[in-house]
C-alpha cells in the first residue's frame, strides 16, 4: 500500500463497513496500513482492499496502537464501548452510529455544510443518520439564503438502511412472490416486498419513531438552528438502495423556484435534476452508486407564500454513511 495513514475499520464485514473500504479505495485516501475489525465470529475472515486480501482482526487495545484514523461502522452499543479504547490508543474515531451524535462535545459533521465543526473534536467525530444527511443537503443553501422557519420531511427509506439483513429480506420475499409462495417477515415486522412500513422503528411517547427524532435533532445541530421547527415521517419502502425525501421548507423571506434551482445547482454535493416535463427527476435507481444527492420536483407550496416543495434522493450507503465519513477524514488530514 502507498505511504500515508494507518487506518482502521470497525465493522468491516457489514454493509456500511464494506462501503467504507470501497470509498477509501475510490477516493484514493492515502492509506499506508489498513486494519479491519468485526465481531468475534468474523475473526480470520478475509476482506479485500485494493486487490489485497486482509484478515479480520480481534478487537483489543494493542491492535489500535499506531492507528491514525478509525472508522466506526458498527452499532451504537459497540461504539460506546470501544471509543474510549480507540481514543486512548491515539487514534481519531469517525463514528457512523448514533452513539455520539447528540453529545455536545462531539462534532456532527457533513463536510459540505459544517466543515468548521470538525476542528473542535476531542478524538471523536460523528456522522449523522443517513436520512438526516440526505435531508439537510438541500436545506443548507436555503437556510443560508433565506433562513429556514419550518420544515416537514417525509422519507422513503431503502432496505439497505437496515443492513445486509434488510437487503436479503427484500430479495427473498420478492423471489417467494414470484414463486407464488407466502411472504415471510423475519427482519422487518411485516413483509416489505410490495409494501410500505410507516414506522421504521419503535414509536415513542410523542408518537414519533426514533428515526424521525434523529432527523429532527440532528438537522438542528448540523444547521446550528436549535429552534428550527421540523417534523419528520420515515417510511420503509421496497427499494434496495438510496433514500428519498419529500421536503416542504418554509423560509423567512420568499425563495422562488428559479432561485432555489440556482442555489441547489451551485451547492457542492448537490446535483439539480429537475425537468419533470421530460420525466427527468431523481429516483433511487438512478442515484444508486452516486456520491452527490440529487434534487428535483421543485415547486412553490400552494398553501403558503414562502414555502417550497422538493424531492431529494441520496445513496444512503455512500453519502449517507461511508462517503461522508471518508470526507471527514479528508478534512482531518488537510
**Total residues belonging to the chain:** 334
Contact 110, 92 (CB under 8 A): no
Q: CB-based contacts of 37: which residues, under 8 Å, 6+ apart?
A: 8, 9, 10, 11, 12, 56, 57, 58, 59, 63
- Select which of 36, 121, 127, 243 is catalytic: 243
What is the dihedral sign for C-alpha 186, 190, 195, 199?
negative
Does residue 243 have an active-site annotation? yes
Q: How many degrees, rounded to 5, is the angle at CA 221 between CA 146 and CA 199?
A: 100
C-alpha to C-alpha distance for 7 and 30, rounded to whole angstroms: 9
- Select which of 130, 143, 293, 304 is catalytic: 130
C-alpha to C-alpha distance for 140 and 136, rounded to whole angstroms: 6
What is the dihedral sign for C-alpha 302, 314, 79, 24?
negative
Per-residue DSSP letters for 1-27? Answer: --SSEEEEEETTTSHHHHHHHHHHHHT
Does residue 36 have an active-site annotation? no
Residues annotated as part of the active site: 130, 243
Amino acid at each position: 500500500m502507498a505511504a500515508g495513514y494507518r487506518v482502521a475499520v470497525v465493522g468491516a464485514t457489514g454493509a456500511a463497513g464494506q462501503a467504507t473500504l470501497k470509498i477509501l479505495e475510490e477516493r484514493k485516501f492515502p492509506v499506508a496500513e489498513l486494519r479491519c475489525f468485526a465481531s468475534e465470529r468474523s475473526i480470520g475472515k478475509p476482506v479485500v482492499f485494493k486487490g489485497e486480501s486482509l484478515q479480520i482482526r480481534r478487537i483489543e487495545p494493542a491492535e489500535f496502537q499506531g492507528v491514525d484514523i478509525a472508522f466506526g461502522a458498527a452499532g451504537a452499543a459497540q461504539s460506546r464501548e470501544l471509543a474510549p479504547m480507540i481514543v486512548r490508543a491515539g487514534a481519531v474515531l469517525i463514528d457512523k452510529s448514533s452513539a455520539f451524535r447528540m453529545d455536545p462535545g462531539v462534532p456532527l459533521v457533513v463536510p459540505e455544510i459544517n466543515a468548521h465543526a470538525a476542528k473542535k473534536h476531542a478524538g471523536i467525530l460523528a456522522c449523522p443518520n443517513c436520512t438526516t444527511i440526505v435531508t439537510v443537503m438541500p436545506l443548507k443553501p436555503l437556510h443560508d439564503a433565506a433562513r429556514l422557519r419550518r420544515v416537514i420531511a417525509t422519507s422513503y427509506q431503502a432496505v439497505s438502511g437496515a443492513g445486509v439483513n434488510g437487503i436479503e429480506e427484500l430479495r427473498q420475499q420478492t423471489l417467494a412472490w414470484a414463486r407464488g409462495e407466502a411472504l415471510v417477515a423475519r427482519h422487518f415486522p411485516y413483509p416489505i416486498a410490495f409494501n410500505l412500513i410507516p414506522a421504521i422503528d419503535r414509536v415513542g411517547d410523542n408518537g414519533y419513531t426514533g428515526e424521525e427524532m434523529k432527523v429532527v435533532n440532528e438537522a438542528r445541530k448540523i444547521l446550528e438552528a436549535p429552534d428550527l421547527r421540523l417534523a419528520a415521517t420515515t417510511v420503509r419502502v421496497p427499494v434496495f438502495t438510496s433514500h428519498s425525501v419529500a421536503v416542504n421548507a418554509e423560509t423567512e423571506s420568499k425563495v422562488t423556484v428559479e432561485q432555489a434551482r440556482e442555489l441547489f445547482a451551485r451547492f457542492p454535493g448537490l446535483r439539480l435534476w429537475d425537468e419533470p416535463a421530460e420525466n427527468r427527476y431523481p429516483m433511487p435507481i438512478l442515484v444508486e452508486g452516486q456520491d452527490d444527492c440529487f434534487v428535483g420536483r421543485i415547486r412553490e407550496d400552494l398553501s403558503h407564500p414562502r414555502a417550497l416543495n422538493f424531492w431529494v434522493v441520496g445513496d444512503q450507503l455512500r453519502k449517507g454513511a461511508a462517503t461522508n465519513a471518508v470526507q471527514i477524514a479528508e478534512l482531518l488530514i488537510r
